[in-house]
Structure 1
């Protein structure tokens, strides 16, 4: 349930943006403010998620999760009543803080509740929930936007239904903040290199999301440049992407058990590279839809792998911080994608940029296949800092 909320944050109000701009046309900054409503939560998440991780380690995961859900409901649905665009924009920034609290807490809880293989399976279920949730919520927002430009904000009240289940079933795990004397030396030895390795994973996840986010930010303009109805084609392509990714994520645990984390990265990045290549090679819509589906499948393979790998590196007492940094890296990549992609498009065009993304992903796939990003799935996990 918590994973499905993260998709609501950005894209839910997208279908209502043109109508919102018209609703507040008396505001001289209406054009820029309406366009900033979608990425605003990403910026807030990127800035606050590491601090949310520190709070999770200090005050507990359960409080952070429940408080984040409540703040999500209040700030997300505030657009139903707020009088102007500047205050709605401010509420979107608060919504980003709520997302940071929720995502950080849930990532830390995965590390607290589950062992290595269970973490991989559960992270895949979260990826599936995000994909299916995104398809459901954006579709529902499109229907509500026909009624009123403010109506999609009502979707943010849906997590009120989640709260009773979360209060009943989420229990605060016992996480040692200081390892026992006997385990301290072993834990320190086991986790001496955890920071450089963890930093590499964070950077890789940010790069992965930056490349993936070319789809929602630049694909509509690629279709438009080809003279294709961008609204219809983009909707179909993103629908193919989310549905293919959601279905594949349900099989992730079996795939990962068979080929290991290194194989998952190799196949996943290879599929994403093939998808971007298909978007370049043909202007036919069916080929573009196949490319979008391949990108969704590839991303659904690599995305769940970061969580168990990072939580396996971080000591138990630092899982909140690890979750916060992982969360921040996702949204930094999303926020940076149009900032870096747009200048490249101005220089080499849309097809040149997508071809460059395909080449980079192909190199990443070959590197993963050659080096093996992580130990084989059958190898026993390293001891945690608390001695487990």
Structure 2
């Protein structure tokens, strides 16, 4: 039976779709928010941190949220996280102080940590490795198609009022009844009725594999988040200051990532466990290389499509590998570690990119990102290749 016929899979996809909203949804609003709070000291840096501030608390809280999911149950944590997500995410709509909005973004990060770790642990509990491989492609597609809708809508709303995109976070409240009714609870790798049976104590050397995946996840998002944090300013610097343009560029990123993710299982079967993310890094690098010399809107869109396609190849692999190799009773903890690396990378990104941009400009920074991605390709291909006698590649 196709996994998408399972209502539990739909519920997990809805929960996953919230993660794209945590940061990038307000990206088209950044110039308008900075202008609205121009009298606030360091308004430029604080405004950029609104995109990545949730990542700081996610990075801190995710390991503890993962342990809590293992110990106390996934479902209750997921529902509480979704409710907090709606309240904290939409708070920027009525808060009148930039520091207060930044504080609400930190609370949003706590909610996302609870949602992501419990959602990933439930995925590991309910479905077997073959199903997880297919699901990860669908999840990446759901996240990015949802992001396409939310970011495109946010660009339009930002043109009306810079704070209006915060209202989009309230959509999470609509998910709660379905999530509550559909998802089973589980803890410590005990599969719910009809779910996957718990697996063994993990693959040989699983901790080393996980450490490499954690490193790659963080690096990927340090480089990728140069796009949502800097693209609105880069476009304005090149004469394309309309928020709808930056919204459309970011929408191209998530549209490409979502489209590629639909074919993740098929691609992974052919390129392998290491070849698929290595190809993703190469494609992302090509996107940043195009971006560093782009001067017209079609080239901006082309670069965004390449960066998004590369992300769609890389990220589902990392999460699938981590869930497959880790012991069943450690899935919450493992998902917390991956979540920490992803969002710590997001938080660090502007702290790395902004000094480079201040010193060398946007184009040199984009060129440096392209070179870094090219350098890492062979290490990814070799380091993540499936060992002889390892578990089979996921079928499409």
**Who is 1:172 aligned against?**
185
Asked if the contact 2:287–2:306 (Cα under 8 Å) also holds between the matched residues in 1, the reply is: yes
Q: 1:75: how far off? A: 1.6
Is the CA contact (8 Å cut-off) linking 2:137 and 2:316 kept in structure 1?
Answer: yes
1:279 positional shift? 2.0
Quote the residue 2:270 is aligned against.
Answer: 258
2:3 aligned residue: none
Q: Equivalent residue for 2:385?
A: 374
Q: Equivalent of 1:74, from 75, 87, 95?
A: 87
State the match for 2:70 in structure 1: 57
Shift of the 206–56 alpha-carbon distance from structure 1 to 2, 3 Å rule, reads same
Which residue in 2 is equivalent to 1:183?
none
Does residue 196 in structure 1 map to residue 208 in structure 2? yes
Could you tell me which residue of structure 2 aligns to residue 211 of structure 1? Answer: 223
Change (3 A) 1:284 1:90: closer
1:363 aligns with 2:372: no
Residue number among 86, 89, 94 corresponding to 2:99 in the alignment: 86
2:290 paired with 1:278: yes
Is the 1:221–1:230 Cα contact (8 Å) retained in structure 2? no
RMSD (Å) for aligned C-alpha atoms: 2.8
Query: Is the 8 Å Cα contact of residues 69 and 163 (structure 1) preserved in structure 2?
Result: yes
| Structure 1 Cα separation of the partners of residues 383 and 43 of structure 2 | 49
Deviation of 1:30 (Å): 5.8
Moved more, 303-312 or 6-15: 6-15
* Inter-partner Cα distance in structure 1 for 2:282 and 2:33: 40
Aligned pair count? 372
Encode CA deviations 1:170-201: one digit per residue, 9 max, x unaligned.
10236458xxxxxxxx956x556322321111
Q: Deviations over 1:282-306 (max 9, x none)?
A: 5343233222211111110011001
Secondary structure at 1:241 match in 2: helix
Q: CA deviation at 1:254?
A: 1.2
What residue number does 1:40 align with? 53
Deviation at 1:143, TM superposition (A): 3.5
Q: 1:288: which partner in 2?
A: 300
TM-score, normalization by structure 1 = 0.86
- Which segment drifts farther, 210-219 or 291-300? 210-219
Are 2:121 and 2:331, in contact at CA under 8 Å, matched by a contact in 1? yes
SS in 1 for 2:23: helix
Change (3 A) 1:13 1:244: closer
Work out the CA distance in 1 between the residues paired with 2:136 and 2:262: 10
1:121 equivalent to 2:129? Answer no
Asked if the contact 1:116–1:381 (Cα under 8 Å) also holds between the matched residues in 2, the reply is no
Is structure 2 residue 327 aligned with structure 1 residue 315?
yes
TM-score by length of 2: 0.84
On the 8 A contact 1:261/1:373 being kept in 2, the answer is yes
CA contact (8 A) 1:261 1:372 kept: no
Aligned to 1:341: 353
Deviations 1:142-171 (A, max 9, x none): 333455444333222111111111111110
Q: Distance in 1 between matches of 2:141 and 2:341?
A: 20
Q: Structure 1: how far apart are the matches of 2:368 and 2:40?
A: 39
1:272 and 1:296 in contact (8 A); partners too = yes
Could you tell me which residue of structure 2 aligns to residue 299 of structure 1? 311
Aligned mates of 1:154, 1:219 — CA distance in 2 = 22
CA distance 1:378–1:348, shift in 2 (3 Å): farther
**Paired residues for 1:73-152 under 5 Å:** 73-82=86-95, 84-152=97-165
Residues 16 and 316 of structure 1, relative CA distance in 2, 3 Å threshold: same
- The CA deviation at 1:20 is 4.6
Shift of 1:111: 1.3
Contact 2:152–2:244 (CA under 8 A) maintained in structure 1: no
